[in-house]
Amino acid sequence: MKLFLQKYLLLFFVVFGTWFSNAQNNQLRAYTLKDGLPQSQVNAVTQDAAGYLWVGTQGGGIARFDGISFKVYTEKNGLGSNYIQSLLFQKNSLFIGTRQGLSVRIKNTFKNYTTPRVYDMEMVNDKVFLATRKGIYAYNTVDEPKRVDCNASINSTQINAILFDGTSFWIASRNGLWKTDRLSNTGKFIKMLNGDFKSLVQYKEKIIAASFTDGIFLFEKGKESFQIVSEVKQINSINLINASELWINTTNAGIKRVNLEDNLVEKSITKRNGLSVYNIRIAYKDRQNNVWIGSSGGGLFKFEKNNFRHYTKNNGLTANRIYAVHHLENTLWLSTSESGLMTIDSTGIHQETTTSEYLNVKVKTLTNDTGNRIWAGTENKGIYIYQKKIRDTIVYDSILVDEISYEKLQLEDIYTATITTEDGLPSNWIRNIKIYGSRIWVATYSDGIVSFQYDYKSKKIYNLKAFGAEQGIKDLAIRDLARDETGRVWYSTSKGHLGYIKNNKVTHIEPKDVTGEEVTIGTILFHNYDMYIGTFGKGIWYSTLSKELKFEELRGEKELYSKNIYQLIFDDNGMLWAGSERGVDQISLNKKNEIVNVIHYGENDGFLGIETCHNAITKNTEGNLWFGTIYGLTKYAPSTSEQESSKPQIHFENIEVAYQSLDSIDLHDWTNSDKQLQLSEDKNHLAFRFRSVDLDNPEAIVYQYKFDKDNWSPWTKENKITFGGLDYGDHTFLARSRNKDWLESDAIGFKFHVIQPLYKKTWFRNLLWGILGLIAIAMVLLYIKRVKAKNRAIRERLQLENHLLSLEHKALRLQMNPHFIFNVLNGIKGMSRNDIAKMDKTINTFAVLLRETLTNSRKDTITLAQEIKTLKNYVEVEKLMASKDFAYEIELNSELDPEEVLIPPMLIQPFVENAIRHGIMPLQRPGELKVHFSTDNDFLYASITDNGIGIYQSQQNKTNTDHQSMALEVTKERIESLAGRNTLKIEEVSEKDHTLAGTKISFKIPLETDY
């Protein structure tokens, strides 16, 4: 009897363990009201072109899911009814079958049409056929839905589903399954089966119909006979998943699955797999190969196939937090936050109750020796050694007298031992244990490392070696131990130190020679003579095991998802796995230890929880990886088929022009098209919002954008970009996205043109400049004309003034000449008549002088040489007439030829006459007369100097004699008319002893030449 019970108990564990193992491979994640789902009854699911998942509920409206949150649309947002029966996305429009009829969501608005309740929709040739509570309706996206007149039976009954197979329409109704060549009263309607048919799918060239009570039937194209696929009852709907997998959604048994390739029944999805209810309304597969399950009362479930299997407190673990894992033969050993050890094998999860009494503290490390004994390192209780062996024994049954009977029983042989400070350990706080051959290496929390051998019979240690500060370990807070391929035992510390022990000698490496900082090195891993270390905050570093170690950070085309590395392990495919507080990264390395690819697994990827536990990682003989986390234990099975990763899709969610949403165009039609949006000059402020929907890893999506000829921006999580004050002309905006696998989407683009205002257009500017130029030319010409007229008037006035001045000069000369002649004649008259020869000479000289004077008086100017000649003749006449002789000198100091310098005639003579007659003649001493001419670039300078009685005495004499020199006044006026006022200077000349030395007359006139 005992043997019988043991056999069945063993069978139960095998079945349970097999179910448990398989169940964990397909994960169900529930979305309920607490996640934002508006209602727990989900009747319909579909996905739009952008990747959003649309969920239709019973009373809560529809919800749009982006992988993170639900956005709900109800009657308050314009929806026709909150009671949704079916969903269909086609032609960039969402068709919604409701209790009140049809609602169509185009862009961001709803159009509602009243029909009987809509259970299903099928689009054929741009026309949507509605399966309603009372017959079939058709909607052509232009007019309102119209009833389709079929036959009397169909027109009056509830239609649950419609399917078009390319040639025929299949109609699942409440009173049977129908087939017709066209939906009209002229069509040929054939009733294929009686019954309440709920759902239709097409598999290759076959039609599969589900009846609520009679099972599932398969019809081949062109045949009226059928095959029974399944006799499952209480069917709500059927869906085709993964091309050949038929999912049968029931009201009372969850989901049944049938593989249509070989007609084999696959494992059902029930509460054992995570469903909270058995009433399933729909199953829908999205483009990322996830299957979404809508239930009646349990909300929405996400069903994803992955490589992970999870073990938690809910299915057998004593606690969720895993401190240590270790694989031995076909058994996984682990420690949790509860006391004792646990094992997982093919029969399930087991609590090693024998260990619980001593191991009532944390076990931070597990390993085994060559005898397959488990060594457990604890916090404050040293080392615990445990082994359980099971052996068979035969027990005879003495109850039966007539026959000898026996049964086989299994007995347990248990070995336990402890090693503490009393046995020679430096501390009972054990961080790590590694056993290589007969040598045990133990790292403590803060007292360094010990190495020893152990006698299992006497349970005593021997050959103990301690390695601490005295031996060269500068940081005793050891974090990990590992042995490389050359036999060196390495250690890492909390302050970033590394070192190794070989031949009982410590070689210590400072942090500056490792990562450069005192950062915790939590794990050490060796692979193919390369050393990898995981740090808390600086990622993964590596070095080849050469004589000169050189550590470099692990870098490459992609980055790790976290710099906090808690676990490191290589799988059998050469992939490096790194556990962190964000999950695990699968890292592909090339031969240069450069990162080629990083695949991250977090909660949305099937990895249990988020944070992994320090060094709680192992690999079994089958190549499966085991990860300990704070939320349970996760097994990764590489043999399981992985989901194919596809590049993300990106779309424009909205474009704002001058802070207003651009609702006048269909963004889908304008994206990556040749269309160009024309914007006025005051609409040059734009904002683009774009989005990639990733239902698995939405938080990993990053974006790039590019404007015109600029370079692509850095990757960012921002998905809205604003541009203000854009220049006029053509512009193009581009955006793209990247998912967690670093796959990039195709770029999307939008073209627009900011119209130049009229006043900034080239032709208008040219015209305006032309007009302004003509106006400017006209103004210039008018100005020139006015200036010319003004100049002409000025010139005429100046000519008149010059003419008048010339006449005035001539008049003055005419005034001078008679006076000059009169003075000379008086002088001749007064000469002695006794000196006839002198008188003749005087008269002859005067005649020459008179002829020159008369000749020069007709001219405006004469040469300076002529003027000097005339002056000499005049002075000679005066000397002849004078009562006493005097000396005279005429000097010229100029680089110019006196024949080229011009001077008005008779300009100097009056001053010379005045100097002779009124300055020298009254003088009692010999008289001297000096006339001096000089020039510069602008003026002709003249001075007449005599040594006479002085100007003041001369003027007194003139006053006393009432004699005025009219010639002197006339000449003064002539000079002022030529050179301006105050040009003429008359001054007395004094000797050094201040005695009077004569008079000096000087003036300047503008230099005039004849060249």
Query: Which pLDDT does position 882 carry in this prediction?
Result: 77
316 lies in the same domain as 212: no
- Report the alpha-carbon distance of residue 651 to residue 794 in Å, rounded: 80
319 lies in the same domain as 394: yes
362 occurs within a structural domain:
yes
Cα distance between the two ends of the chain: 154
Query: Which pLDDT does position 15 carry in this prediction?
Result: 37
980 lies in the same domain as 911: yes
86 occurs within a structural domain:
no
Instruction: State which of 231, 250, 266 marks the end of a domain.
Output: 231
718 lies in the same domain as 824: no
Question: In 3-state terms, what secondary structure has residue 132?
Answer: strand
Single-letter amino acid, residue 1009: T
396 lies in the same domain as 316: yes
* CATH code, domain carrying 748: 2.60.40.10
- Residue 294, CB-side half-sphere exposure with 13 Å CA sphere: 30
- Residue 433, CB-side half-sphere exposure with 13 Å CA sphere: 33
741 lies in the same domain as 885: no
- Report the alpha-carbon distance of residue 474 to residue 494 in Å, rounded: 11
Answer yes or no: are the C-beta atoms of 197 and 226 closer than 8 Å: no
Residues of the chain with pLDDT under 70: 1-27, 305-306, 391-410, 609, 639-645, 759-760, 801-821, 823-824, 830-834, 958-967
644 occurs within a structural domain:
no
**Burial tier of 854 (Cβ tally within 10 Å: 0-12, 13-18, 19+):** exposed
334 lies in the same domain as 452: yes
Query: Which pLDDT does position 1 carry in this prediction?
Result: 38
Query: Which pLDDT does position 959 carry in this prediction?
Result: 53
862 lies in the same domain as 924: yes
| Number of other CB atoms surrounding residue 483 within 10 Å | 17
Answer yes or no: are the C-beta atoms of 659 and 668 closer than 8 Å: no
762 occurs within a structural domain:
no
Instruction: State which of 728, 756, 784 marks the end of a domain.
Output: 756
Query: Which pLDDT does position 334 carry in this prediction?
Result: 94
Residue with tokens 């556990």: 579
925 lies in the same domain as 828: yes
- Report the alpha-carbon distance of residue 429 to residue 379 in Å, rounded: 5
- Is residue 282 within a helix (H) or strand (E), and if so which, with residue range? strand 280-285
pLDDT in tens, 767-790: 888 888 899 999 999 988 888 888
Query: Which pLDDT does position 394 carry in this prediction?
Result: 55
| Number of other CB atoms surrounding residue 655 within 10 Å | 21
Considering only the C-alpha atoms of the chain, give the largest distance between any 2 of them, rounded to a whole number of Å: 216
876 occurs within a structural domain:
yes
Q: In what order do the strands lie in the sheet with 996-1006?
A: 886-893, 927-935, 939-946, 996-1006, 985-990
Answer yes or no: are the C-beta atoms of 182 and 192 closer than 8 Å: no
Q: What is the DSSP letter of 550?
A: -
* CATH code, domain carrying 996: 3.30.565.10
752 lies in the same domain as 864: no
Query: Which pLDDT does position 359 carry in this prediction?
Result: 85
- Report the alpha-carbon distance of residue 931 to residue 887 in Å, rounded: 11
641 occurs within a structural domain:
no
Cβ-based neighbours of 531, under 8 Å, separated by 6 or more: 484, 490, 524, 525, 542, 543, 544, 545, 549
Q: Tally the domains of the chain.
A: 4
Q: What share of the chain is helix, strand, coil (3-state, %, to 5)?
A: 20, 45, 35
State which residues form the domain around 135. 117-231
Q: What is the pTM of this model?
A: 0.58
- Report the alpha-carbon distance of residue 920 to residue 916 in Å, rounded: 5
Tokens of 219: 């019809």
681 occurs within a structural domain:
yes
* CATH code, domain carrying 460: 2.130.10.10
- Residue 856, CB-side half-sphere exposure with 13 Å CA sphere: 27
CA proximity to 724, closest of 680, 687, 692: 687
Tokens of 659: 């802070």
Query: Which pLDDT does position 564 carry in this prediction?
Result: 96
- Report the alpha-carbon distance of residue 1011 to residue 1005 in Å, rounded: 18
| Buried/exposed code over 979-996 (b: 16+ C-beta within 10 A; e: otherwise) | beeebbebebeeeeeeeb
- Report the alpha-carbon distance of residue 494 to residue 536 in Å, rounded: 9
pLDDT in tens, 416-469: 999 999 999 999 999 999 999 999 999 999 999 999 999 999 999 999 999 999
Query: Which pLDDT does position 35 carry in this prediction?
Result: 92
Instruction: State which of 182, 199, 231 marks the end of a domain.
Output: 231
- Report the alpha-carbon distance of residue 309 to residue 533 in Å, rounded: 27
455 lies in the same domain as 381: yes
694 occurs within a structural domain:
yes
- Report the alpha-carbon distance of residue 450 to residue 433 in Å, rounded: 10
Strand partners, 98: 84, 101
- Is residue 888 within a helix (H) or strand (E), and if so which, with residue range? strand 886-893
831 lies in the same domain as 738: no
Question: In 3-state terms, what secondary structure has residue 859?
Answer: coil
